[in-house]
Amino acid sequence: MVTLTPTQDKYLPYVLAVALFMQILDATILNTSLPQMAQALGESPLKMQWAVISYALTLAIFIPLSGFLADKYGTRQVFLSAIIIFCIGSLLCAASPTLDFLIASRVIQAIGGAMMTPVARLILVKSYPRNKLLTVMNFAVIPALVAPLVGPILGGYIVQYASWHWIFLINIPMGIAGFVMGKKLVPALFEDTKRLDWTGFLLFAAAACGFTLAVEFGSQTGHGLYGLLFGLSASLLIGAYIWHAKRQSASLFPLALFDVRTFRIGITGNLFTRLGISAVPFLLPLLLQVVFEYSPSKAGWLLAPIAVGAIGIKPFVSKIIQRYSYRKVLIYNTSVMGSLILVLTQFNDASQWLWFIPILTIMGACNSLQFSAMNTITIGDLQGAQTSSGNSLMAVNQQLAISFGIAFGAAILNLLRERIQMDTLTAFQTTFFVMGVLTILSAMVFMRLKPEDGRGLY
């Protein structure tokens, strides 16, 4: 355990707080801004999903490198470099003249983000004793609750009264503050590093990209063959990774993790549940602005109840799980979330906005309960070195589910509009129906849990 100065001991959690706020604000502020960005870039608002997917997919690919780089080159140097890369990516995003340039800039931005938050969290874990860690972490993650509330509203007002470029430029002053704080507060921690499984990393990264491209091309008229080829290639790459991991003593993600039953169920449930619900924050602002012609600021305010519900239920999550067990909570809560997505199919008029508020508030509460329960049960039974690799794989899995979910939702929407020639409102409603049914079906994964699973985590 590193010895911190009194100043570091008091203020080091603020470093993670700033990093978290920057990254989550950047992810949530974009959703209400996409229609105006599309107009400025000469694109259809319904074709902007890659501005979001590219970021989440890059995070998923590069998160496994963060711990290795921090151990080898030192936590301070990697964290400060991550902030610089994130800010450079933000400047390039603001300067983007085309969608392709924006996507490339988002990839650069995400490379910084993939190192920034995980390394900041690692710094706290290595710097504080276990009896102080919960208090420190709880304080540091407050921005993770606030940013989703502020992001959509701020994004709406920025594009309505200023310009979409400021969506990315506001990262610069926060990045400067994080860099100054990091330079003064972050200790330079090193660890003995094993050789990184570069072969496993490349196989995993290529497979993740392949599956995402398979969904994207599969939904485009005349590109179905490309979608099939990408899907087959990705499947072969996953098979190659499994073959490789069985023969590698220190693989990127050890297959032994899947011998732990609760991890296997949790990671699978995490993926399929998030597939259904990850598209909602992307699709809903588009529905409100493109179909119902809401202003960006009004669309942002109507998304705020999701964050309000998530914050409001936080103090009760542990009590609910203790009262009903992980199995019951995950089965019933997943079904409720899917049902709420189905309710979104009933909105067909701009005047119904008041009904959005209770529905989205409950949805936000269910999301928060779901994520807390899934994350805890997934890594709760891991021991020793498995905990670190399992936690890393869970974080990667979450980002992959976001990118797959948005790609899948956008693919269905474009498929319905372009091939089946549905009107835009009906295409949105049908897409929400598919995502809702998929979420309800994902509850079946959690039926494999036992009533006593997770009791030791209370």
Range 276-308 burial, b when 16+ CB lie within 10 A, else e = bbbbbbbbbbbbbbbbbebebbbbbbbbbbbbb
Gap between the Cα atoms of 94 and 169, Å rounded: 6
Contact in structure between 186 and 79 (CB atoms under 8 Å) = yes
Identify the pLDDT of residue 385.
66
- Reply yes or no on domain 253-458 having CATH 3.30.365.10: no
Contact in structure between 56 and 209 (CB atoms under 8 Å) = no
- Reply yes or no on domain 1-189 having CATH 1.20.1250.20: yes
DSSP character string of 111-156: HHHHHHHHHHHHHHHHHS-HHHHHHHHHHHTHHHHHHHHHHHHHHH
Per-domain residue ranges of the chain: 1-189, 197-251, 253-458
Contact in structure between 151 and 29 (CB atoms under 8 Å) = yes
Identify the pLDDT of residue 133.
66
Phi (first) and psi of residue 38, to 5 degrees: -60, -45
Q: Which residue has the tokens 């924050």?
A: 281
User: What's the one-letter identity of residue 370?
Assistant: Q
SS3 434: helix
Terminal Cα distance for the chain, rounded = 27
CA-based R_g, the chain, Å: 21
Identify the pLDDT of residue 348.
86
Identify the pLDDT of residue 86.
96
SS3 121: helix
Identify the pLDDT of residue 177.
92
| Tokens matching residue 247 | 């023969």
Identify the pLDDT of residue 147.
84
Gap between the Cα atoms of 440 and 166, Å rounded: 38
Contacts of 316 (CB under 8 A, 6+ apart): none
Gap between the Cα atoms of 133 and 344, Å rounded: 40
User: What's the one-letter identity of residue 448?
Assistant: R
Gap between the Cα atoms of 261 and 449, Å rounded: 9
Contact in structure between 38 and 48 (CB atoms under 8 Å) = yes
pLDDT in tens, 105-142: 999 999 999 988 888 878 887 887 767 766 777 677 77
Identify the pLDDT of residue 134.
61
Identify the pLDDT of residue 217.
82
Gap between the Cα atoms of 308 and 194, Å rounded: 43
Half-sphere exposure of 21 (CA within 13 A, CB side): 20
Gap between the Cα atoms of 431 and 280, Å rounded: 10
Residues in the chain, pLDDT under 70: 1, 130, 133-134, 138, 219, 221, 385, 457-458
Cα dihedral angle (38, 62, 135, 456), rounded to 10 degrees? 110
Contact in structure between 194 and 250 (CB atoms under 8 Å) = yes
Nearest CA to 56 out of 103, 115, 110 is that of 110
| Tokens matching residue 264 | 């296997």
Number of H helices, E strands in the chain: 18, 0
CA angle 81, 122, 254 (to 5 degrees): 105
DSSP character string of 264-300: HHHHHHHHHHHHHHTTHHHHHHHIIIIIS---HHHHH
Contact in structure between 74 and 190 (CB atoms under 8 Å) = yes
Contact in structure between 329 and 369 (CB atoms under 8 Å) = yes
The full length of the chain comes to 458
Q: Which residue has the tokens 């709406």?
A: 156
| Tokens matching residue 437 | 């049914």
Identical fold, 1-189 and 253-458: yes
